[in-house]
Amino acid sequence: MPPTVVTTTPLSFAPAAAVARIAAASRRTQQPQSGGDLVSLAMGEPDFDTPRQVTEAAEAALHAGRTHYSPLLGEPALREALAEKLTGIAASPISPADLLITQGGTAGLAASILAIVGPGDKVVIPDPTYSLYADLVSMAGGVVVPVPLAPDLHWDLDRLADALDGARLFVFCNPGNPTGIVHSRAELEALADLLDGTSTLVVSDEAYADLDFTGRPFTSALSLDGLRDRTVYCQTFSKSYAMTGWRVGYLWGPTPLIQAAARIHNTFNGSVNTVAQDAALVAVRTCGPDIARMRAEYETRREIMRTELAKIPGLTLSSPEGAFYQFPRYDLDLPSAEVVAALRTTYGVAVRPGSEFGARGEGHLRLSYAASAESVVEGVRRLADGLTALRAHRTHQ
Ligand SMILES: Cc1ncc(COP(=O)(O)O)c(C=O)c1O
**Ligand 1 atom closest to 176 (CA):** 1
Distance in Å, CA 379 to ligand 1 centroid: 23
Q: Is 328 in the pocket of ligand 1 (CB under 6 A)?
A: no
pLDDT of the residue at 30: 66
Distance in Å, CA 237 to ligand 1 centroid: 9
| DSSP class per residue in 28-69 | ----PPSBTTBEE----S-SSPPPHHHHHHHHHHHHTT--SP
Q: Is 40 in the pocket of ligand 1 (CB under 6 A)?
A: no
Q: Is 45 in the pocket of ligand 1 (CB under 6 A)?
A: no
Distance in Å, CA 105 to ligand 1 centroid: 5
Q: Is 205 in the pocket of ligand 1 (CB under 6 A)?
A: yes
pLDDT of the residue at 72: 95
Alpha helices per DSSP H over 196-235:
225-228
CA atoms within 13 A on the CB side of 154: 15
Q: Is 178 in the pocket of ligand 1 (CB under 6 A)?
A: no
Question: What are 234's strand-pairing partners?
Answer: 205, 251
Residue nearest atom 13 in ligand 1 by C-alpha distance = 44
Residue nearest atom 14 in ligand 1 by C-alpha distance = 44
**Cα separation, 227 vs 84, whole angstroms:** 20
Using an 8 Å Cβ cutoff, are 182 and 214 in contact? yes
**Cα separation, 41 vs 59, whole angstroms:** 32
Task: Tell me phi and psi for residue 322, to 5 degrees.
Answer: -170, -170
pLDDT of the residue at 58: 98
**Cα separation, 149 vs 361, whole angstroms:** 9
Distance in Å, CA 389 to ligand 1 centroid: 34
Q: Helix/strand/coil (H, E, C) string of 237-256? A: CCCCCCCHHHCCEEEECCHH
pLDDT of the residue at 35: 64
CA-closest candidate to residue 375, choices 363, 383, 386:
383
Residues of the chain with pLDDT under 50: none
Distance in Å, CA 150 to ligand 1 centroid: 23
pLDDT of the residue at 3: 72
Q: Is 180 in the pocket of ligand 1 (CB under 6 A)?
A: no
* Cis, bond preceding 178 (omega within 30 deg of 0): yes
Domain residue ranges in the chain: 17-50+289-390, 65-287
Q: Is 249 in the pocket of ligand 1 (CB under 6 A)?
A: yes
Testing ligand 1's pocket by substitution, the residue of 30, 31, 130, 133 carrying the most ligand atoms inside 8 A of its CB is 130
The CATH number of the structural domain formed by 17-50+289-390 is: 3.90.1150.10
pLDDT of the residue at 27: 85
**Cα separation, 41 vs 60, whole angstroms:** 35
- On whether the pTM is more than 0.85, the answer is yes
pLDDT of the residue at 8: 73
**Cα separation, 176 vs 125, whole angstroms:** 12
**Cα separation, 327 vs 316, whole angstroms:** 9
Distance in Å, CA 57 to ligand 1 centroid: 23
Distance in Å, CA 325 to ligand 1 centroid: 13
Q: Give me the architecture of the 65-287 domain, per CATH.
A: 3-Layer(aba) Sandwich (3.40)
Domains 17-50+289-390 and 65-287 fall in the same CATH topology:
no
